[in-house]
Amino acid sequence: MLASASPGAGQIINGGFEEGAFGDGSVREVSRGDTALSGWTVNDNPIAWYANGYEPNPLAPIGVGPHSGNLAVNLCDGSVANQCDGSVRPVSISQTFTVLPFIEQQVSFWVGNYRGNGGAVSMSVTIQDGTSNTILLGETATAPATDLDSAWEQFTYSFIPDGRSNTIRFSEIGGGYYAGLDDVTVVAVPEPSTWALALLGFVGLAMVGTRRRVTRLT
């Protein structure tokens, strides 16, 4: 019953950015063509894959930590200062994943901000069908201004795939020196009939347990 509730669930590889050849230290710059970050492709300019929270050049600490686990990525340019305003040097990462077609899916992720940005920070998320190249999802996720050293905002969107192969892409589009990304997931949305079947199953198990207790008492 539980397996049938989530067909194609959890198809994003390394959505928490915990896997790969991070190496020593607190930050690793990942450039286009670098395969160090498992599951993900850097499409344009470098990103900062970090442990404690780091702004661009000179990669000085800003104190903000990953949303969960030990690592996250910064979608501002990992090598050039002051290039996170959306006007120069695009920064994006992507991953191709497989799900069952025509079943509603839900993508969820967290965007990180901190007070040093001096305002809101935004990134775009798109999901594209791999066969027809149709854009299935196109949204802008904006983490509001904060006075905290570490502030993470969750964003959740739904889409329906046309085919099995799809590509998700995150792009920085402006706001300060730091745009954190962490905990990316794509899971199927259970249909009401699936929930009904699961509920009936749990009720049946409860009834069996009750009958066993009554039998023992008699």
Closest C-alpha to 146, from 173, 180, 121: 121
- Say which CATH topology domain 7-191 has: Jelly Rolls (2.60.120)
Farthest CA pair distance, the chain: 78
Total length of the chain: 218
Q: Are 108 and 154 in contact (CB under 8 A)?
A: yes
Domain boundaries, the chain: 7-191
Q: Kindly report, residue by residue over 62-84, the tens digit of the pLDDT.
A: 557 899 999 999 987 544 444 45
Q: Is the pLDDT of residue 136 over 70?
A: yes
Q: Is the pLDDT of residue 197 over 60?
A: no
**187 against 205, higher pLDDT:** 187
pLDDT at position 173: 86
Percent of the chain's residues with pLDDT above 90:
51
Q: Residue 107 and residue 141: Cα distance in Å, rounded? A: 12
**116 against 7, higher pLDDT:** 116
pTM over 0.85: no
Which of 4-8, 25-29, 126-130 tops mean pLDDT?
126-130
